[in-house]
């Protein structure tokens, strides 16, 4: 069966990659165990695909392909790294069902959108002798729907939506004794940082905008990238961080060359060997590609699709055929199944009610026996609070939370994910903003608060939404009851 599906895989496909308003297209054709470039095209959209009308951009994309005489309709899409939200969790030893429940709970608490509004893919990492970590990568379904509408307007048939950075640096190739790799992808306006270790994705960050200037004058601030590299590797779990061995830099032009040269001393201090990737190694994408093949996301996703070496990160919504829709609506056993399910639900509710009543009766009996001792303990606790004036009831924490609540907007444009209050008065907060304007407005209010001092923004990847971290020192002394 697997061989049959491999035979049905097309021999040619169109790879598409978006980088801001820039779009790159490559038609890759398979010939045995090799892949060749049939056609290429590049252009610029009139607006950012994340914000513009997808139908208008679809017409522009079709015009670009027609001008390059590209007739291939089947396509695979490399989604931009700036669209991706990431969340890492350590996995205890659980069953598959419990693990799925744990990841869903982590997604509900960690992402700024409900899980049903996201397309989520999971990448697992485990270094030798260490625990298992899962990195959840999420793309808003609204963005995915826009890409689908744009492709339909361009009369293209999507076969896969994946991450171009993961296709260029496949996580599975770094597991085991080979060590981990940090990959930097220098784009037209930003730099994406991908850490792969233990056979999976350990971290994903986007520095936006990190590219200054255009064309030959484009520059990437190496100090900012180096600082992000140091912070990201420092935040990795120790077992994954210790497995990192190399720093691979992807991208075309002088900006990527200059970044590789300027980052060499910083990378060496972190124990990473710098490699400037100017061509894909033989077999790195699953098929042998020409040395002159462009080192880009469009080439990577198209070649991997033809080779059948997927990244394991798929965001294309499942396609439901017309026959499946008809069968679901007119199934002969549908009503009978609904009746059986309804009866089972009624029986389960009745049984649960009986069990609850029995349990409540037993608990009331237990409470009657322990009630005198409980009242005695409550009296002792009240006396302790009364005669120990140094007792700290976390009033300082409440004051900090009150000041932060007053600074955050009431309309929900900025939400706090985690708040850490240390004994020294240092406060560390991880938050999500609708856009950078909302983030800057909130930070300005915090800086204007009398009790808040030395507020610093640590990092703020992404554009809309923006995930950012900041810290400050609580200048007011701890309150006493």
Q: Per-residue confidence at 367, pLDDT binned at 50, 70, 90?
A: confident
CATH number at residue 166: 3.30.420.380
169 CB neighbour count, 10 Å cutoff: 25
Number of domains observed in the structure of the chain: 3
Same domain, 269 and 399: no
pLDDT of residue 269: 87
Same domain, 404 and 382: no
Report which of 468, 473, 420, 438 is spatially closest to residue 231, judged by C-alpha positions: 468
Same domain, 197 and 51: yes
pTM of the model: 0.62
- Per cent of the chain over pLDDT 70 is 87
In a domain, 1, yes or no: no
pLDDT of residue 1: 43
Query: In Å, how far are 41, 123, 151, 178, 341 from 14, measured between CA atoms?
Result: 11, 26, 12, 32, 46
CATH number at residue 432: 3.30.1360.100
pLDDT of residue 52: 86
- H-assigned helices in 222-333: 222-235, 238-241, 254-269, 297-307, 322-329
Cα 318 from Cα 234, distance rounded (Å): 38
Residue 66 pLDDT > 90:
yes
Q: Per-residue confidence at 148, pLDDT binned at 50, 70, 90?
A: very high
Same domain, 404 and 373: no
- Per cent of the chain over pLDDT 90 is 15
In a domain, 328, yes or no: no
In a domain, 381, yes or no: yes
Residue 394 pLDDT > 60:
no
- From 1-5, 121-125, 248-252, 385-389, the region with the lowest mean pLDDT: 1-5
* Complete edge-to-edge strand list for the sheet that includes strand 414-421: 414-421, 426-433, 466-474, 452-459
**For 422-472, how does the pLDDT look when each residue is reduced to its tens digit (9 = 90+)?**
888 899 999 988 888 888 989 999 999 888 998 988 876 777 788 889 999
In a domain, 124, yes or no: yes
CB < 8 Å & 24+ apart, contacts of 116-120: 117/141, 117/142, 118/85, 119/144, 119/161, 119/315, 119/317
Strand 74-79 with 12-19, pairing: parallel
In a domain, 435, yes or no: yes
pLDDT of residue 12: 92
Same domain, 344 and 263: no
Residue 214 pLDDT > 60:
no
**For 215-273, how does the pLDDT look when each residue is reduced to its tens digit (9 = 90+)?**
544 567 888 888 888 898 888 888 888 888 889 988 877 888 888 888 888 888 888 99
Same domain, 368 and 239: no
**For 289-339, how does the pLDDT look when each residue is reduced to its tens digit (9 = 90+)?**
888 888 888 888 888 898 887 777 888 887 655 445 555 555 555 666 777
In a domain, 74, yes or no: yes
In a domain, 323, yes or no: no
Name every residue whose Cβ is closer than 8 Å to that of residue 423 and which is 6 or more positions away in sequence.
none
Residue 174 pLDDT > 50:
no
Q: Quick one: average pLDDT of 136-149?
A: 91
Same domain, 56 and 181: yes
Residue 27 pLDDT > 80:
yes
Same domain, 341 and 400: no
Same domain, 88 and 218: yes
Same domain, 99 and 156: yes
* Complete edge-to-edge strand list for the sheet that includes strand 132-140: 85-91, 132-140, 118-125
pLDDT of residue 61: 93
Q: Per-residue confidence at 110, pLDDT binned at 50, 70, 90?
A: confident
Q: How many residues does the chain have?
A: 481
In a domain, 321, yes or no: no
- Which of 307, 325, 359 terminates a domain? The answer is 307
Same domain, 408 and 297: no
Same domain, 384 and 272: no
Label each residue of 308-335 as H, E or C.
Answer: CCCCCCCCCCCCCCHHHHHHHHCCCCHH
* CA angle centred on 384, ends 379 and 387, rounded to 5°: 120
pLDDT of residue 76: 93
Domain span including residue 458: 395-474
**For 68-108, how does the pLDDT look when each residue is reduced to its tens digit (9 = 90+)?**
999 999 999 989 888 889 888 888 888 888 888 888 898 88
């Amino acid at each position: 069966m697997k061989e049959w599906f491999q035979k049905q895989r097309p021999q040619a496909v169109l790879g598409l990659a978006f980088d801001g308003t820039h779009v790159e297209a490559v038609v890759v054709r398979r010939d045995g165990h090799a892949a060749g470039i049939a056609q290429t095209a590049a252009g610029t959209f009139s607006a950012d695909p994340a914000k513009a009308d997808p139908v208008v951009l679809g017409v522009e994309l079709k015009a670009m392909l027609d001008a390059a005489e590209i007739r291939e309709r089947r396509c695979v899409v490399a989604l931009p790294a700036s669209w991706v939200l990431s969340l890492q969790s350590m996995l205890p030893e659980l069953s598959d069902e419990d693990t799925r429940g744990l990841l869903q709970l982590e997604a509900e608490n960690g992402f700024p959108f409900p899980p049903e509004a996201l397309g989520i893919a999971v990448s697992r990492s485990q270094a030798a002798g260490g625990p298992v970590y899962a990195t959840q990568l999420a793309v808003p379904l609204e963005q995915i729907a826009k890409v689908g509408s744009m492709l339909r307007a361009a009369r293209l048939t999507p076969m896969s939506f994946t991450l171009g950075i993961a296709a260029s640096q496949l996580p599975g190739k770094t597991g085991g004794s080979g060590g981990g790799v940090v990959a930097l992808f220098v784009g037209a306006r930003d730099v994406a940082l991908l850490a792969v270790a233990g056979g999976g994705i350990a971290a994903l960050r986007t520095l936006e905008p990190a590219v200054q200037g255009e064309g030959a004058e484009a520059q990437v601030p190496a100090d900012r990238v180096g600082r992000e590299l140091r912070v990201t590797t420092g935040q990795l779990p120790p077992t994954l961080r210790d497995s990192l061995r190399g720093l691979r830099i992807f991208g075309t032009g002088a900006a990527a060359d200059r970044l590789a040269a300027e980052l060499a001393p910083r990378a060496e201090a972190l124990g990473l060997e710098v490699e400037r990737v100017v061509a894909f190694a033989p077999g790195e994408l699953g098929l042998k590609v020409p040395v002159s093949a462009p080192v880009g996301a469009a080439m990577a996703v198209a070649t991997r699709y033809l080779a059948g070496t997927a990244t394991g990160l798929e965001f294309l919504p499942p396609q439901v055929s017309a026959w499946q829709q008809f069968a679901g609506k007119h199934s002969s056993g549908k009503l009978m199944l609904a009746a059986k399910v309804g009866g089972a639900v009624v029986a389960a509710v009745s049984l649960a009610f009986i069990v609850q009543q029995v349990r409540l009766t037993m608990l009331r009996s237990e409470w009657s026996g322990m009630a005198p001792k409980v009242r005695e303990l409550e009296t002792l606790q009240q006396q302790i609070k009364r005669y120990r004036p140094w007792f700290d009831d976390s009033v300082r924490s409440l004051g900090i939370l009150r000041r932060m609540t007053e600074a955050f907007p009431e309309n929900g444009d900025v939400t706090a994910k985690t708040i850490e209050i240390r004994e020294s008065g240092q406060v560390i907060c991880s938050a999500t903003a609708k856009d950078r304007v909302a983030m800057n407005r909130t930070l300005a209010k915090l800086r204007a608060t009398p009790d808040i001092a030395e507020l610093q923004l640590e990092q703020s990847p992404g554009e809309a939404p923006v995930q950012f971290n900041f810290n400050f020192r609580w200048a007011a002394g701890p309150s006493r009851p």
